């Protein structure tokens, strides 16, 4: 692995180790709670609405698992995967407090090297984690491998606003307001400067569609939320 990739992995891991306890609160403040609405609606795309099992990749604090359970009940298995052990441990505790502990598995791993058999999952969902992947094409290949035939990939992440005025306002917000909010809520500015930078450098909607199609996903589409501040991408194996 090249030094630059190793440095990025170390940086990202350090960021989330530092902020995981306040991560949900910061996301609520940054998005005014809208990220929760987007996640719930996006999961309705799962396996044509028939659910099946779920790999929650870059699982973070585990909120996607909560929404998945509310939508589809507790008979379908959920696997939460994240490279950050502190974040994954926090997710496990959070889900247990909500009595979500049936058919749940927690796996520490990177998206670029998934420790699962081929055709293992009906759905893979990534909630605001795709932009942190070190090698997105490699990760998409791995996701395609572990998805079953007709399985769904759902990517929810910050994206590129369509309107140039909204884009300018969003950039100002990320550069100037988010660090202040981070300082007030978490006492930490540097980590949220990284998160703002990762949002600005993230590929636009069309480029992500091309990445998905390159590794073999079909029927790829995206839906903009808030004029493209957030986008939901969906593809089928």
Residues 17-65 have pLDDT tens digits of 556 666 777 777 777 778 889 999 999 888 766 678 999 999 988 999 9
d(CA 84, CA 82): 6
Pick the closest to residue 128 from 158, 108, 154, 152 (CA basis).
158
Q: Could you tell me the CATH number of the domain that includes residue 148?
A: 3.40.50.150
| Residue 113, pLDDT above cutoff 80 | yes
d(CA 100, CA 66): 7
Q: Percentage of the chain with pLDDT > 70?
A: 87
Pick the closest to residue 228 from 169, 181, 176 (CA basis).
169
d(CA 27, CA 41): 17
Contact 219, 235 (CB under 8 A): yes
> Could you tell me how far CA 164 lies from the centroid of its own chain?
25
Q: Let me know the angle formed at the C-alpha of 180 by 176 and 181, rounded to the nearest 5 degrees.
A: 115
CA dihedral 49, 51, 57, 60 (to 10 degrees): 90
How much is the pLDDT for 110?
94
| Residue 16, pLDDT above cutoff 60 | no
Higher pLDDT among residues 45 and 155, named by residue: 155
SS3 42: helix
How much is the pLDDT for 197?
80
Sign of CA dihedral 121, 28, 221, 172: negative
Kindly report, residue by residue over 75-104, the tens digit of the pLDDT: 899 999 999 888 899 999 989 999 998 999
How much is the pLDDT for 119?
97
Higher pLDDT among residues 165 and 20, named by residue: 165
Domain of residue 67, residue span: 3-236
How much is the pLDDT for 185?
73
Average pLDDT of the segment spanning 169-193: 77
Give the pLDDT band (50/70/90) at residue 11: low
How many structural domains does the chain have?
1
């Amino acid at each position: 692995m090249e030094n630059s990739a190793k440095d990025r992995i170390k940086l990202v891991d350090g960021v989330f180790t530092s902020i995981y306890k306040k991560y949900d609160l910061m996301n609520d403040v940054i998005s005014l709670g809208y990220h929760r609405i987007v996640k719930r609606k996006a999961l309705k795309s799962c396996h044509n609405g028939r659910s099946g099992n779920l790999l929650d990749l870059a699982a973070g604090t585990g909120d996607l698992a909560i929404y998945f359970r509310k939508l589809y009940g507790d008979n379908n298995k959920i696997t939460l995967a994240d490279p950050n052990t502190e974040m994954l441990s926090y997710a496990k505790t959070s889900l247990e407090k909500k009595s979500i502990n049936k058919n749940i598995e927690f796996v520490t791993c990177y998206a670029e090297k998934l420790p699962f058999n081929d055709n293992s999952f009906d759905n893979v969902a990534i909630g605001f984690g795709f932009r942190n992947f070190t090698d997105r094409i490699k990760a998409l290949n791995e996701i395609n491998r572990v998805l079953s035939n007709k399985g769904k990939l759902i990517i929810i992440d910050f994206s590129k606003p369509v309107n140039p005025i909204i884009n300018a306002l969003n950039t100002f917000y990320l550069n100037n307001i988010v660090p202040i909010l981070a300082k007030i809520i978490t006492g930490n500015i540097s980590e949220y400067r990284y998160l703002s930078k990762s949002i600005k450098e993230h590929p636009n909607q069309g480029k992500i569609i091309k990445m998905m199609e390159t590794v073999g996903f079909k029927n790829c589409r995206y839906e903009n939320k808030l004029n493209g501040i957030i986008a939901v991408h969906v593809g089928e194996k």
